[in-house]
């Protein structure tokens, strides 16, 4: 095993959370909870495979944060009440028994909500119809609805939802860290994005103001649980409904965003791109990982995007990533850390896993049991 793989498989620390290696399971929506948002036995078995396979960290799929506008998908799990949180406690305990840590990703879907059993419409910074079509493999159909513009009172409720769900995640569910979902086109990213945030108040305008809701949520969650566990945030340029989106002002935007999150006390920033090693912008230059490292120098960086290839993983690690999060690679190889440790080739990802509905399949659970 070469030195770069040795580094990836070495232990690390995110603000006191000790990981046995630098490989994490990336958050991936699997629409396998109960209609009421509670985790199921299939979810327990699904997450446990990754801990048994040697991953140091498992980050959950996005968990909705309140009983109002946050839910994005039918059969999405939540942390909006104590009963949902209690359902996660056996899962986190099982992961701990296998030597893995578990971070809860907290998510508000905003305008991209396509299945919410609490509300019949969505909210967003501005009444802008999202691009593209709803995702059929998450039970969606047709165009996204035009959201209502969110008001100040509802924004305060959004922030409180993140805080309350984080407190439940740590105090009831037993999670070891909190990841705020500020990426992929969901509500916080809608505030960050110029063409979805047309507001003229303190939440809109230049990027330094559009990032302010992300900072406010991060600061509030840090104040509630940050002495107990690390608190970080996921950031991307692309969205689930707009894969090719780029920040219009290039590195200026990167500096403003990563700098603001670092000053707000983020313990980690989780950067996701389709291919994490590629230049962040069309004119070449640094990757988004390298820009995060440059403009948030004291913050742990988690990188995600096509890192199931050991050579690419080593390249991104060298660019400044402390932890490498695998999505497709983890689905095909729930034992990826063990495979790399033993010098074995990983299995090829089969996109059929996520179709026709992206729920957890018996074939996935059988893979972990037999290999």
**Distance between CA atoms of 130 and 242, rounded to whole angstroms?**
9
Query: DSSP letter at 347?
Result: P
Distance CA 357, CA 115 (A): 14
- Nearest alpha carbon to residue 181 among 110, 88, 278: 110
Contact 82, 168 (CB under 8 A): yes
Rounded CA-CA distance 24/107 in Å is 19
How many Cβ atoms sit within 10 Å of the Cβ of residue 67? 16
Tokens of 308: 């199931």
CA-to-CA distance for 157 and 331, rounded, in angstroms?
A: 35
CA distance linking residue 67 with residue 62, whole number of Å: 15
Of 183, 155, 154, 180, the residue nearest 166 (C-alpha): 180
**Is 138 an active-site residue?**
no
Using DSSP's 3-state secondary structure scheme, residue 161 falls into helix
Please, which residues bridge with residue 78 across strands? Answer: 64
- Can you state the angle between helices 288-295 and 251-263, rounded to 10 degrees? 50
Catalytic one of 46, 138, 144, 186: 186
β-pairing, 148-149 vs 177-181, is: unpaired
Q: Please say whether the beta carbons of 346 and 333 come within 8 A.
A: yes
Q: Is 311 exposed, middle or buried (0-12, 13-18, 19+ CB in 10 A)?
A: exposed
371 alpha carbon, distance to own chain's centre: 28
> What six digits make up the tokens of 254?
């990167």
Residues marked active site are found at: 186
């Amino acid at each position: 095993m070469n030195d770069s793989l040795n580094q990836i498989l070495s232990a690390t620390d995110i603000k006191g959370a000790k990981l046995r290696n630098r490989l994490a399971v990336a958050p991936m929506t699997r629409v396998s909870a109960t209609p009421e948002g509670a985790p199921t036995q299939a979810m327990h078995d699904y997450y446990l495979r990754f801990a048994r396979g040697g991953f140091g960290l498992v980050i959950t799929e996005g968990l909705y944060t309140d009983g109002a506008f946050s839910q994005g998908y039918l059969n999405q799990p939540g942390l909006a009440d104590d009963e949902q949180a209690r359902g996660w406690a056996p899962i986190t305990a099982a992961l701990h028994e296998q030597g893995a840590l578990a971070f809860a990703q907290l998510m508000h879907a905003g305008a991209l909500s396509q299945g919410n059993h609490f509300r019949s419409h969505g909210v967003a910074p501005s009444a802008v119809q999202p691009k593209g079509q709803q995702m059929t493999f998450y039970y969606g159909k047709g165009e996204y609805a035009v959201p209502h513009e969110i008001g100040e009172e509802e924004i305060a409720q959004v922030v409180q939802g993140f805080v309350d769900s984080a407190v439940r995640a740590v105090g009831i569910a037993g999670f070891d860290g909190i990841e705020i979902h500020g990426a992929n086109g969901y509500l916080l990213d809608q505030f960050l994005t110029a063409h979805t945030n047309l507001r003229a108040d303190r939440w809109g305008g230049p990027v330094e103001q559009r990032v302010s809701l992300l900072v406010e949520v991060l600061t509030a969650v840090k104040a509630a649980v940050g002495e107990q566990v690390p608190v970080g945030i996921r950031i991307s340029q692309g969205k689930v409904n707009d894969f090719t989106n780029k920040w219009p002002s290039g590195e200026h935007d990167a500096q403003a965003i990563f700098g603001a999150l670092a000053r707000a006390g983020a313990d980690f920033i989780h950067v996701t791109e389709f291919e994490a090693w590629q230049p962040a912008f069309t004119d070449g230059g640094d990757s988004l990982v390298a820009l995060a490292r440059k403009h948030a120098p004291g913050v742990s960086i988690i990188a995600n995007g096509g890192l199931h290839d050991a050579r690419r993983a080593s390249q991104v690690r060298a660019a400044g990533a402390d932890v490498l999060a695998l999505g497709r690679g983890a689905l095909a190889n729930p034992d990826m850390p063990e495979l790399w440790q033993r010098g074995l080739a990983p299995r090829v990802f089969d996109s059929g896993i996520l179709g026709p509905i992206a729920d957890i399949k018996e074939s996935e659970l059988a893979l972990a049991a037999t290999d």
